[in-house]
């Protein structure tokens, strides 16, 4: 079972309670660009968790005006003769793919929780009593263009040279082509997951490039996972360093599972709060985490690792 610490006096004796004793693992990425790993590493690091995923909001039922309401959504098909392009256009609902991804980002990263989401007025300790803002603000995005083309890796997101508010999501046709033996349902699931991951990069904050790159990628996979679109080759159990990572900012699904645990242990909405706090660009060597959550990120990681064994036992692992 997950352990909840009510204040620092309850910390294990061998754990530091000094908020200043934070150690960040710097892995900066250029502010306008976030790249996915190579196909080999992406597949290696990535089991979906539909039972853990929150239901995505139905169109028209989101609390705030859609993030895509002022953004033009476009698609560019670089090679119509490529078999992967043909499968993409025949299997993927192109007219709703980008809008769905944006709604996933809005629901899981930019919509503050309400009392009905878990009693924000009296959330679970430990935490500072932070009142959510009416709406967390994303990066300015005036257009999103999905580009399918042959390239290295899986996918990446960038702003255009002339205007970083015009985003491009590039997806490798070779990666899609390698899924030729997958069912149409699995192909659709993977494309929706990759596009949702990349769409997070179009709107999220990164403390002006000062926060660890592993956190940026972890938040993107966190939104993908909570949207029920986790990759089918992700391996979460048994919980150990091989499946969960050796450090908190290892990135992708490993950091995403840590962030999911943090939401359950600290309070609902804390990932959105961290993202909003990074809008001001004050990462401050990781002290931003303790300002938002009371404990340092290293203290949270230590608590997380201590929960692995009881979680494994409860699952019979």
CA-to-CA distance for 159 and 264, rounded, in angstroms? 34
What are the two backbone dihedrals, phi and then psi, of residue 180, each rounded to the nearest 5 degrees?
A: -60, -30
User: How far is the C-alpha of 298 from the C-alpha of 239, rounded, in Å?
Assistant: 18
- pLDDT score for 124: 38
The pLDDT assigned to 43 comes to 41
CB 155 within 8 Å of CB 67: no
Q: Does this model's pTM top 0.85?
A: no
State pLDDT tens for residues 5-23: 444 444 444 444 433 333 3
Task: Please state the rounded mean pLDDT for residues 116-129.
Answer: 42
The pLDDT assigned to 134 comes to: 53
- Residue 289: pLDDT above 60? yes
Q: What's the CA gap between 170 and 176, in Å, rounded?
A: 12
Do residues 275 and 204 touch, judged by C-beta distance below 8 A?
Answer: yes
**Which pLDDT score is estimated for 258?**
98
Indicate whether 281 pLDDT > 90. no
Render pLDDT for 130-141 as a digit per residue (tens, 0 to 9): 444 456 899 999
pLDDT one-digit tens code per residue, 187-200: 999 999 999 999 99
The per-residue pLDDT for 68 is 55
């Amino acid at each position: 079972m997950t352990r909840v610490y009510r204040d620092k006096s309850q910390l294990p004796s061998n754990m530091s309670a000094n908020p200043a004793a934070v150690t960040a693992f710097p892995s900066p990425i250029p502010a306008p660009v976030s790249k996915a790993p190579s196909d080999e590493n992406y597949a290696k690091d990535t089991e979906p968790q539909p039972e853990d995923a929150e239901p995505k909001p139905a169109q028209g039922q989101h609390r705030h005006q859609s993030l895509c309401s002022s953004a033009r959504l476009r698609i560019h098909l670089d090679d119509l003769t490529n078999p992967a392009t043909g499968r993409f256009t025949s299997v993927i609902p192109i007219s709703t793919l980008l809008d769905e991804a944006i709604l996933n980002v809005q629901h899981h990263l930019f919509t503050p929780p309400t009392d009905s989401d878990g009693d924000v007025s009296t959330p679970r300790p430990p935490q500072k009593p932070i009142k959510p803002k009416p709406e967390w603000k994303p990066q300015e995005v005036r257009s999103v263009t999905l580009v399918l083309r042959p390239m290295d890796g899986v996918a990446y997101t960038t702003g255009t040279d002339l205007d970083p508010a015009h985003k491009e999501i590039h997806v490798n046709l070779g990666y899609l082509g390698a899924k030729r033996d997958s069912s149409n349902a699995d192909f659709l699931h993977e494309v929706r997951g990759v596009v949702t991951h990349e769409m997070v990069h179009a709107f999220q904050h990164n403390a002006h490039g000062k926060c660890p790159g592993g956190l940026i990628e972890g938040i993107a996979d966190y939104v993908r996972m909570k949207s029920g679109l986790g990759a089918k080759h992700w391996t979460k159990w048994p919980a150990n360093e091989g499946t969960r990572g050796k450090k908190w900012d290892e990135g992708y699904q490993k950091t995403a599972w840590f962030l999911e645990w943090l939401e359950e242990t600290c309070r609902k909405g804390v990932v959105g709060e961290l993202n909003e706090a990074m809008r001001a660009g004050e990462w401050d060597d990781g002290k931003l985490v303790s300002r938002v959550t009371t404990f340092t990120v290293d203290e949270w990681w230590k608590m997380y690792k201590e929960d692995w064994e009881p979680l494994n036992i409860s699952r019979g692992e």
